[in-house]
Chains A and B, each alone.
Chain A
Amino acid sequence: MDESFQFRSALQGDTAAFADLIRQHQAMVFSIALHYLQDRALAEDIAQEVFLELYQKIRTIESEKHLLCWLRRVAANRCIDQGRRKKTRRETDLDSLPEPASQGGHSDPLLSERLRQTLSLLPEKQRMMVILRYQEDLGPAEIADLLKMPVNTVKSTLHRTLEELRKKLVHKIGEVRYALF
């Protein structure tokens, strides 16, 4: 089905089109929550709530671009709220991790896992910035708009966060040096 037609149909209350809209964006919303909370069940719950809220507010969505932006913003805010409530800093369950083959070719699954674990040790906003930057490939301006922060703050925080990530990773693995970017 054509995406814009699907969006218009969902806007008019077509539940089948809305279900297609969910399928189209579920990986994005779920992954933001999963990478932020490091808890598959909680991430699924948050993602469901985001789409539930979308269903209630679908009439306020003006375009597909707006929809994408709205989904990211609501997912980010819900994750930050949830993180504040539960302060989830737990280690990832190995069973919940995807198989190395699903990581896509050349990447090191062990390094990926270490990076995700270390990311979960970062403060809330910094963690979300890294997710939006490297999962969603958003620029500093888009992240600033999404998290309602000045662009320069986002740039400096991202830079600082990567440094922090490097230090934490070195500390976590116990190796002396890592080359970063």
Chain B
Amino acid sequence: MHFSEDDLRAALKRQDPGEGFAQRVMARVNQAESAPEKPPRRVWFLRLRPALVAVAAVLLLVIGLVVGYQQEQVAQQARARKAEQQAVLALRIANAKLNRVFERVNQRQTVPKVQRESL
């Protein structure tokens, strides 16, 4: 059993769908034309859907950015407060140390005088 390209052509020869095909299509065309249109509200919704999705995405992005910015601000303020407290503490320590030094210096200057007077 052999077959050639012509056999393939013969096997795939065009076939007619039969009488009345065009009428059946035209009946469907008429049916589609006479069918009531979809309610405009749904059409509007379908048309607007991509735009609504885009708006929602932009809105979410903006809200995210604002919330992120606010959180960053709060964190920055907390860091500033901590640094301020540390600076005040450092100044207090330095102040205390200096006071002690002054006291000692004053003590050294006053003690020999007394001793001299008592002699």
Q: Which residues of A contact B (CB under 8 A)?
A: 15, 18-20, 22-23, 26-28, 30-31, 34-35, 43-44, 47-48, 51-52, 55, 98, 103-104, 107-108, 111-113, 115-116, 119, 130-131, 134-135, 137, 169, 173, 175, 178-181
| Given A44-B21, A178-B1, A180-B3, A31-B14 contact (CB < 8 Å) | yes
Is the CB of B32 closer than 8 A to any CB of chain A? yes
Q: Are B25 and A107 in contact (CB under 8 A)?
A: no
Residues of A contacting B6 in the complex (Cβ-Cβ under 8 angstroms): 107
Contact yes or no, A111 B29, CB < 8 A = no
**CB <8 Å contact, A28 and B14:** yes
Q: Is the CB of A48 within 8 A of B3?
A: no
In-complex Cβ contact of B14 among A15, A111, A135, A175 (8 A) = A135
Whether the Cβ atoms of A116 and B12 lie closer than 8 Å is yes
Q: Mark B1-30, 1 if CB is under 8 A from A, else 0.
A: 111111111111111110001111110110
Ordered by A's residue number, 26 sampled pairs between the chains whose C-beta atoms are within 8 Å are A15-B29, A19-B23, A19-B26, A22-B21, A22-B25, A23-B21, A28-B14, A30-B21, A31-B15, A34-B15, A47-B17, A48-B28, A51-B25, A52-B28, A55-B29, A103-B10, A104-B10, A108-B7, A111-B1, A111-B7, A112-B11, A115-B8, A116-B12, A134-B9, A137-B9, A179-B2
10 further interface pairs, Cβ-Cβ under 8 Å (given A48-B21, A113-B11, A134-B12): A26-B22, A30-B16, A31-B12, A44-B21, A104-B13, A112-B10, A130-B8, A178-B3, A179-B2, A179-B3
How far, in whole Å, are A180 and B26 apart by their CA atoms in the complex? 43
B94 to chain A, nearest CB (A): 80
Among the listed A15, A27, A35, A104, which residue makes an inter-chain contact with B16, where contact means beta carbons less than 8 Å apart?
Answer: A27
Main SS at interface, chain A: helix
A47 touches which one: B5, B7, B21 (CB < 8 A)? B21
Q: How far is A23 from B19 in the complex, measured between Cα atoms in Å?
A: 10
Residue of A28, A52, A173, A178 contacting most chain B CB atoms (<10 Å): A52
A26 touches B17 (CB 8 A): yes
B31 to chain A, nearest CB (A): 10
Tell me, rounded to whole Å, the shortest Cβ–Cβ distance linking A93 to chain B.
14
Q: Contact at A30–B7, with CB atoms within 8 Å?
A: no
Q: Please list the 6 inter-chain residue pairs (A to B) with the smallest Cβ-Cβ separation, ordered nearest first.
A: A107-B10, A112-B11, A115-B11, A135-B12, A30-B17, A22-B22
* Given A22-B22, A178-B3, A111 and B28 contact (CB-CB distance below 8 Å): no
Which residues of chain A have C-beta atoms less than 8 A from B3's C-beta?
A: 111, 115, 169, 178-180
A52–B1 CB distance below 8 A: no
Contact in complex: A52, B15 (CB < 8 Å): no
